[in-house]
Amino acid sequence: MEALTKNLVVISFDCLAANDYELIKTLPNFQRIFREGSYVQNVETIYPSLTYPCHTTIVTGNYPIKHGIINNTLLQPGVASPDWNWYRSAIKGTTLYDEANKANLTTAALLWPVTGRAKGITYNLPEIFANRPWQNQIMVSLFSGTPGYQWELNQRFGHIRNGLNQPELDDFVLESAIHTIKTKSTNILMAHFTDLDTKRHHFGAFSEEAKQAILRHDVRLGRIIETLEECGLYEETTIVILGDHAALDENRAVSLNVLLREKGLIEVNKKGKLTSWDAYCKTCDGSAYIYVNNPNDSDTLRNVEKMLKELVINPDSGIEQYMTGMQAGKRGADSRCAFMIEASQGFYFIEDYEGRYMKQVTREDVLSNKKYMLACHGYSPDKPNYKTFFMAAGKGIRKNVTVPSMKLVDIGPTLAFLLGLHLGDTDGEVIHPLLQTETDNIGGL
């Protein structure tokens, strides 16, 4: 399969939504991509619509049930800070960067989720953080990516960072991306920016802080375009800008594990530490999995479902609907769960098993505790006003084409096609209307 491009820059603006169109179409650097390329008005995300499953879908073209990243974090009941799906080894099947590596293409990834210890990435600064007191952030990162490359970036730009705080973290990613473009001769550069997602979590989906993050993203996009031009690469490069999910405002946190504990399905000791569980609610923020420790325990399954039926008919419970594990699997989520629940508008799930079933979340709560948010994602793709965004320009991309809709699973096959690669039997398909053909090149369209 002949490649349409040999140079691809993929910019993930985490939480960029279709609803942001009215703002970004007014911004100079986004305007340039609109003018020189094409875009998709509405992109349907996956279920659950969390960052790590979404970014794995983007590079595989598959739903979570197939690629294996069914949540941001692992199921570790009672662990205050559970481990994340940081490592490439957790992904089933191939990825865009694996296929690129097989084709002898050079790749770079900057804070792209689920790339820890990925052998297929030439220059890798993975998204991973120290979540245990005895760990050191720099050492955790070095051992999970490309040590020399990371050391170089930290020596040059580490002073920009302020821990994991935004916008400094994205400013560090930007300078690292620019340096990589200038010095590494990559065929594929994938950069993940989380400024917008962070501000939406902390201040609300359409807060002034979120708007300012989008304005900063436009400046970042402009710096990348400017660098490509300075290096003489712009005309031969394909630039892709995408979001992974949207966000919805909420201000009430639901702790279903509190009810499971009251029913004797979660046990704790005198210090409040979880000692055993028969059923456990694992949050996906706007949705949640309910796992049963023993899938053959019919009494627990029956008791949990009875509880869910009662909650769903109560408009104040915060639970809009529930489904079985089999039904969740058909929607691309983890079929190994006993049940999956969807939060009502304005609600989301946390994993507390002590305290109240429901908590009204304030700005002070968000400032004092990471588990509290004023907007989040993880919801069903069917939620209203919950589409994300895709646009592209440059080599291999048609100009001034508007595609009404596509799915997140379509991105991987489309990017692979641009590069002359193939991801195998994927859940998604190539969006050909975005791509140039031989007819385009002779003026047929």
pLDDT tens per residue, range 189-240: 999 999 999 999 999 999 999 999 999 999 999 999 999 999 999 999 999 9
DSSP collapsed to 3 states, 197-265: HHHHHHHCCCCHHHHHHHHHHHHHHHHHHHHHHHCCCHHHCEEEEECCCCCEEEEEEECHHHHHHHCCC
pTM of the model: 0.97
Can you give the C-alpha Rg of the chain in angstroms? 22
pLDDT tens per residue, range 84-138: 999 999 999 999 999 999 999 999 999 999 999 999 999 999 999 877 777 777 7
Do 431 and 410 contact (CB within 8 A), yes or no? Answer: yes
Task: Output phi, psi for 168, to 5 deg.
Answer: -65, -35
Do 186 and 107 contact (CB within 8 A), yes or no? Answer: yes
pLDDT classification of 355: cutoffs 50, 70, 90: very high
HSE-up of 31 (CA within 13 Å, CB side)? 7
Percentage of residues of the chain with pLDDT beyond 90: 93
pLDDT of amino acid 439: 54
pLDDT tens per residue, range 184-200: 999 999 999 999 999 99
Burial of 107 (0-12, 13-18, 19+ CB in 10 A): buried
- What's the whole-number average pLDDT of the chain? 96
CA 171/CA 111 separation, integer angstroms: 12
pLDDT tens per residue, range 397-441: 999 999 999 999 999 999 999 999 999 999 999 999 999 975 565
Mean of the pLDDT values across residues 242-254?
A: 98
pLDDT at 444 over 80: no
Mean of the pLDDT values across residues 267-293?
A: 97
Q: Which of 342, 304, 295, 350 is nearest to 321 (CA)?
A: 342
